Structure 1
């Protein structure tokens, strides 16, 4: 997996790491928001497929990738991390491109900093995952028994669809397991899991966004084989964003990793539509 130059900036919970891709200065940049338990580099192949048509930055949320750990781990906290990276990159405004709980992060971001959002494109995304206590307890038990890396080796491929790139499962293991100083700490991963998959709920932010007279243009994509954020969640997110829903055949929960070329083309097409309608 190719990587862009890496940078760092202070965040509210510690140092934040991020990737940055160059592009024409007269185009609106992209701010990539990754699914929880991946990292900024999950967007690397998508950014490569976009071919430098516009600048881009991808944040490693706190306790992900090479960013420092430190809670809390709610979507509003990840949105604060993303805003810090946007500031560090020197961008006033950006298109948000998000996946999974990144949909909740994008919603919180749009409520907190509406003037800085040019548009939202979401993939396999939701306002709330909402795992119940039994599921969280079982997952924690398995994580502690197996360790972080082995847990993702055994379970990661289960969220990918039949049309996924063959190498996506191994790439997911590396993204989910690798941290700032070696593999991620199991206590931190459990804390992230219980907070982000259990407690996190961006529906109030969604209601606040939906009540506004103007919202940024939006589009939501969902894989036909997504077991984590199925179509009902995609439609709920699209409703608060004021956007439409498109399906991706044979794709599971991580289109950006499973089908990066198709994901990049979907992003490019949407941005062309948005900017064409303004031009």
Structure 2
């Protein structure tokens, strides 16, 4: 697949940055886990190869996009729609990770005609951290700073079969922003909104009436969106759940080749009507 081009779109909270790989057919829109960025998908896209166009959005306050809020899945879904509009894409396959699953559901509820299918990895409709866990994370973030906090804790969400450099790559994706490292205040607000307040079960109830083709993949060692959360997402999409042995919360970073193979097989089955 050809090298991507970085482009920008105008979103509700400011400028959005996204990656665009040229191609034909129904494109794929990649929706990243919170506290990563569009670039978390680059090795997956490379492994996919083939002629299909691909897009990957940096949500607001992530990657090279502007930092303005708010930071709920419905807001990230608005960012995704803004990128589709800027790219001239009417309909796309959604491939999502972590809270990206909730983003995909919010997008499908608001604009079902734009969603060809949903493939979700380590994803959930909600994370639902308790107030004391959010308070503890905020205290540590403010004491350590963003980069050191992810350096200390990022590896905790990866599985035993993760590639060796995944933790270091996660630190760079989670820490880097448009103008250097992300601001601690912004990361705290993102964390509290996305890990605490976010709940896309109402949107899933809308989508459940006529869901797109979907499949949910979950790592056997995922501590953030474990199998019960995956099954909750799958129930809303009338989808099957497939286990990824030895993988943690970020399959796209831990084993991009296997993630790409799963995407490719799912898209082939979705486009032939064999979900």
TM-score range, shorter chain: over 0.9
1:267 to 259, 263, 268: 263
State the secondary structure of the residue aligned to 1:55: strand
> In structure 2, what is the equivalent of residue 217 of structure 1?
213
Judge conservation of contact 1:3–1:41 (CA < 8 Å) in 2. Answer: no
Judge conservation of contact 1:28–1:94 (CA < 8 Å) in 2. Answer: yes
Judge conservation of contact 2:176–2:182 (CA < 8 Å) in 1. Answer: yes
CA shift, 1:209, in A, is 1.4
| 1:137-152 mapped onto 2 (5 Å cutoff) | 137-152=135-150
Is it true that 1:78 corresponds to 2:82 in the alignment? no
Cα distance in 1, alignment partners of residues 110 and 206 from structure 2: 10
> In structure 1, what is the equivalent of residue 111 of structure 2?
113
Judge conservation of contact 1:125–1:233 (CA < 8 Å) in 2. Answer: yes
| 1:248-259 mapped onto 2 (5 Å cutoff) | 248-259=244-255
> In structure 1, what is the equivalent of residue 22 of structure 2?
22
Task: Provide Cα deviations, 1:212-253, integer angstroms capped at 9, x if missing partner.
Answer: 2x2200000000000000000000000001110000000000
CA shift, 1:3, in A, is 7.0
Task: Give 5+ residue unaligned stretches, structure 1.
Answer: none
> In structure 1, what is the equivalent of residue 9 of structure 2?
9
Judge conservation of contact 2:3–2:21 (CA < 8 Å) in 1. Answer: no
Cα distance in 2, alignment partners of residues 84 and 207 from structure 1: 24
Judge conservation of contact 1:3–1:44 (CA < 8 Å) in 2. Answer: no
State the secondary structure of the residue aligned to 2:273: helix
Cα distance in 2, alignment partners of residues 3 and 259 from structure 1: 20
Is it true that 1:236 corresponds to 2:232 in the alignment? yes
CA shift, 1:277, in A, is 2.5
Cα distance in 1, alignment partners of residues 193 and 3 from structure 2: 29
> In structure 2, what is the equivalent of residue 93 of structure 1?
91
CA shift, 1:274, in A, is 1.1
> In structure 2, what is the equivalent of residue 186 of structure 1?
184
State the secondary structure of the residue aligned to 1:82: helix
Cα distance in 2, alignment partners of residues 156 and 277 from structure 1: 38
> In structure 1, what is the equivalent of residue 36 of structure 2?
38
CA shift, 1:4, in A, is 2.4
Judge conservation of contact 1:222–1:234 (CA < 8 Å) in 2. Answer: yes
Cα distance in 1, alignment partners of residues 211 and 272 from structure 2: 17
Judge conservation of contact 1:217–1:243 (CA < 8 Å) in 2. Answer: yes
State the secondary structure of the residue aligned to 1:6: strand
State the secondary structure of the residue aligned to 2:52: coil
Number of positions where the alignment pairs a residue of Structure 1 with one of Structure 2: 273
Task: Provide Cα deviations, 1:64-94, integer angstroms capped at 9, x if missing partner.
Answer: 0000011110000000000000111111100
CA shift, 1:5, in A, is 1.5
Cα distance in 1, alignment partners of residues 206 and 85 from structure 2: 24
> In structure 1, what is the equivalent of residue 102 of structure 2?
104
| 1:42-81 mapped onto 2 (5 Å cutoff) | 42-81=40-79
Cα distance in 2, alignment partners of residues 93 and 44 from structure 1: 21
